[in-house]
Amino acid sequence: MNDPKQIKNQRSKIANPTKIVRVIARLNVGGPAKHVVWLTKGLSAPQFDSLLIAGTVPAGEEDMGYFASELGVAPLFVPEMSREISPKDAVTIWKLYRLFRRERPDIVHTHTAKAGTVGRLAGILYRWLTPSTFLGRPRACRFVHTYHGHIFHSYYGPVKTRLFLTIEKMLARVATDRIVVISEQQRREINQEFAVGRAQQFVVIPLGLDLGVYARWQERRETFREELKAEASDILVGIVGRLTEIKNHELFLQAAAMLKQELAGGPSRARVRFVVIGDGHLRHQLERQAQANGLVDNVTFVGSRRDPENFYPALDIVALTSRNEGTPLTLIEAMANARPVISTAVGGVVDLLGQPLSDGAASAFAVCERGVRVRPGDAQGFAAGLAHLAGNESLRREIGERGLQFVTQHYSTERLLEDIKGLYADLLTDKSAAP
């Protein structure tokens, strides 16, 4: 027989679900937008009551609001909230404060740098602007911030970077109960290298994704290849992501030009083609670079796509050339389709690719358990790593199989939801987290 006290507690939880307000700066194309939608969808009644708040997607970036709509999530938009610093930020903070007062959340969870700043500043107002503060009883609300990446290098100049770092240190100290990072490498970098937050504030919760979307990927391999008119022997190297500075597509094109030159001087091999999937304000500049490097017949810019279940299986190698990353969803999605990956060694990529198995081409690259790792900014090393993968079909297959097994075990949305539920449960019962 069930314990009557347990039954009473369960009924109480259902009658009073945990109120979660989740804040993100914008729902632009990328992993963070999918992440917050999955969490909002998954943490729902009867245990949770979740509200997603988002800002404006600026011109030049693709709006991913369609993804929320497809999953039945209706975000509440604050038009004044955007990526860049603006006088409108004061309006955003005030609006968020009023929303918090209306919604009375148990937990406010912010995602990405800008939302983390305005959301937690609004949280300070919400927590302390109440008459009960004078009695030592501020509002009982917990604040969580997730770093999907960080802006402590490669985004801005030294002055602005130092300013943002100072703000993050202050917010971690006075307005954050828990800090979520998506890899152990990211925790070491943010907490130990940049001295943000206290060690006990940090929780490592890897990303999760809907693996069911990519089931039976083998049956869809030809869909995108036929669209590109690719021969069966063609090796397609794809890069997926926004065409913006931090993704460093310039390096991808430099490596493509080097690889083309190397293949032209060697024995006859399968043709290697390069596919750029994504859009952004650098597209025309990158197309001009491809033309200048003699890659017009070798590189295809296909723009934004909404069918990852079709384009990943078509690729033989998935590349990432970023200057800075958290844990890139594009590599996890590639692994979910058993695709071999090659990436610059930035952020959580190091943990994702696993331990090195061997070095190649005088250590220009390292073959790891689940991909090939290259030093950031090294076009020659990237070209050498691509050549090594392109010329070794059995290695591509082995890396792809290990990647698929790893992602299946560690990166499901079910695991993500359970981890976040555990975090919230611990936070709400932890007296030491109170202000």
Predicted confidence at residue 326, as pLDDT, reads 86
Give yes or no for a contact between 214 and 44, defined as CB atoms under 8 angstroms apart: no
pLDDT reported for residue 343: 98
Structure tokens at 68: 């929320």
Residue 5's contacts (CB-CB under 8 Å, 6 or more residues apart) are none
To 10 degrees, the CA torsion angle through 357, 362, 363, 367? -30
Residue 207 Ramachandran class (φ > 0 left, ψ -120 to 50 alpha, else beta): beta
- Residue 403: which of 421, 389, 416, 417 has the closest Cα? 389
What string of DSSP letters covers 118-161?
A: HHHHHHHHHHH-SGGGGGT-----EEEEEESS--SSSSS-HHHH
Report the predicted TM-score, pTM, of the whole model to 2 decimal places. 0.87
Q: How many CB atoms lie within 10 A of CB 211?
A: 17
> 26-37 burial string, b = 16+ CB within 10 Å, else e?
bbbbbbbbbbbb
**Could you list the pLDDT tens digit for every one of the 435 residues in the chain?**
455 555 445 545 556 899 999 999 999 988 999 999 999 999 999 999 999 999 999 887 889 999 999 999 999 999 999 887 889 999 999 999 999 999 999 999 999 999 999 999 999 999 999 988 777 788 999 999 999 988 887 778 888 889 999 999 999 999 999 999 999 999 999 999 999 999 999 999 999 999 999 999 999 999 999 999 999 999 999 999 999 999 999 999 999 999 999 887 565 567 999 999 999 999 999 999 999 999 999 999 999 999 999 999 999 999 999 999 989 999 999 999 999 999 999 989 999 999 999 766 558 999 999 999 999 999 999 999 999 999 999 999 999 999 999 999 999 999 999 999 999 999 999 855 544
Render the burial of 168-179: b for 16+ CB within 10 Å, e for the rest. beebbeebbbbb
Write out the two tokens for 394: 């059995």
In sign, the C-alpha dihedral spanning 353, 29, 97, 52 is negative
H or E element, residue 110 = strand 107-111
Give the model's pLDDT for residue 1. 42
